[in-house]
Chain A
Amino acid sequence: MIQLENVTKVLSGRTILSNLSVTIEEGETLVLLGRSGTGKSVTLRHIVGLMQPDSGRVEVLGKSLTETSADQLAAVRSQVGYLFQDGALLNWLSIAENVALPLLETHHLAKSEVDQRVKNALREVELDHHGDKLPGEISGGMRKRAGLARALVSQPKIVLHDEPTSGLDPISSSIINKLVNRLKSTGITQVMVTHDMNSAFEVADRIALLHDGQIHALENVDDFRDSADPAVRQFLEGQISGPLSRGLLDGSSNDDDRNEVS
């Protein structure tokens, strides 16, 4: 379904992804964990062709995104919903208009069909009473949910979530988790970047830990939780020192930290 093969990406002189490979199966929900700035968002951007790898291959829905035409890229993108870290809504359109945007601009649907789909999408994220408001008039968490409604309204096969629950209260988080699980039950393939461990364990089929530009660990939920890998343990337990505290991404290397863990 989604395949990244030896993807390397250098940004502003720093290697963010280095030979990263991962395959996400159809219908699977993969959670991508990692410290801030390790390239989780960059990885998601490769999956929709917003970034091209310096070397390596990206394949989505059986089509290569690395050597593709604009039309083919558009065809792939029409099957992908993307929830941006901050919602990325257009601030001069109301919430309902934002959600309707992909339908109005690229699909040719009857107005009643658009209205119905927008209403359903807003109901799913429990924003049905806020459709008329502008993005500036609602809270950050609500904006994020509206962004999710926009990602879902064109009924994609793949949904990519960039930190859908960060900054949300526990109840809003549960709404999102429930929704992700519901999407999963309809067979949608999902990749979710998150820092929220509860959410990760609640929705994931498999969990991946991104470190040093590579997938450091990739396990089923239970195996991940019980993993003996020092990096995974450090991440789960939130220890300050450990293998994740050094490495090419900070540009610092501290062997003392490394010894303390083992």
Chain B
Amino acid sequence: MTGWIEALGHFLGRSAETTGYGLVLLCRTILNLPHLFTRRRMRDCLNLIFTYTLGSFTVTAVVALFTGMILALNGGDSLASLGQENLIGRIVAISMIREMGPFMTALILTASLGSGIAAEIGTMKVSEEIDALEIMSISPVKFLVLPRLIALTLVTPVMTIFAAFIGILGASIVAANNFGVTWIAFSNDALENLQLGDVQIGLIKSVVFGITIATVGSTQGLLTRGGATGVGEAARRAVVITFLLVIILGYYLSWWYLS
């Protein structure tokens, strides 16, 4: 019984410590922002943007396409029973742009890039590379975290727009094939009902998610200890924590937007 309480206390203490570390890391990275405008950091950043985009492009496209198709299939089915299948366009467009696009993209990028960042920095931690940087007076925040944070903050919204676009495309195919809604009718309904605010909240979410993925990944990487097992554990933890944060932050951002 006391062992259980002790374990809980230990867990809470650790969580608070990690959260504090992550927030401090984020602030320090933001304070290091001026260092981005050097040729070397710019180059690192562009390399990462390129790698990240290439590395998540295919899976995002496939997942987005099928998500859009599933949305159209289910939405269309319910709407058809009311004779309202011409509303598919707006339903799919609004939900893809406001909710599903940012959310789905964040989950994909967490699994593929966030875990990668944690593993990469974690490996550097356990093989003393981070210590070596510190001795050379090269700040790991400036050298490692800053370019990753900036790259993900840019790549996530771009991939989100891409995912929403592909998802809507997939939905329009299902709408045409299964429910006889022409492409013109679909896009007219979508465009007439979509508001600028929907796009804005989608983009705001994706930027927040990008920052979250990079910060959690870097935090877990820098806090890694204990060899190869530690690296695996850091990657696993980065994914779990980012998933939770994306869901919770996503809910509050939607709530803020709607109220």
Contacts and interface: CB of A to CB of B under 8 A. Distances in A.
Co-assembled chains A and B: yes
Interface of B: 40, 124, 127-129, 131-132, 134-138, 143
Interface residues of A, number: 22
Contacts of B137: 74, 77-78, 102, 105-106
Contacts of B128: 84-86, 88
B127 A80 contact: no
B136 A106 contact: yes
B135 A82 contact: yes
Interface in A76-112: 77-78, 80, 82, 84-86, 88-90, 101-102, 104-106
B143 A86 contact: no
Nearest to B131: A50
Interface string A138-160: 00000000010010001000000
Contact of B127 (A74, A86, A101): A86
A76 to B, nearest CB: 10
Contacts of A106: 136-138
B123 to A, nearest CB: 8
Contacts of B134: 50, 77
Contacts, number: 45
B92 to A, nearest CB: 41
A90 B128 CA distance: 10
Most chain A beta carbons < 10 A, residue from B124, B129, B136, B137: B136
A77 B131 CA distance: 12
B135 A105 contact: no
A104 B132 contact: no
A180 interface: no
A152 to B, nearest CB: 12
A7 interface: no
Interface in A103-125: 104-106
B131 A102 contact: no
A258 to B, nearest CB: 34
B138 A101 contact: yes
B129 A90 contact: yes
A231 interface: no
Nearest to A103: B136
Nearest to A84: B128
Interface string A154-187: 1000000000000000000000000000000000
28 contacts: A45-B131, A48-B135, A50-B131, A50-B134, A50-B135, A77-B134, A77-B135, A77-B136, A77-B137, A80-B135, A82-B132, A84-B132, A85-B128, A86-B128, A88-B127, A88-B129, A88-B131, A101-B136, A102-B138, A104-B40, A105-B40, A105-B136, A105-B137, A105-B138, A105-B143, A147-B132, A150-B132, A154-B136
A78 B136 CA distance: 7
A150 B131 CA distance: 14
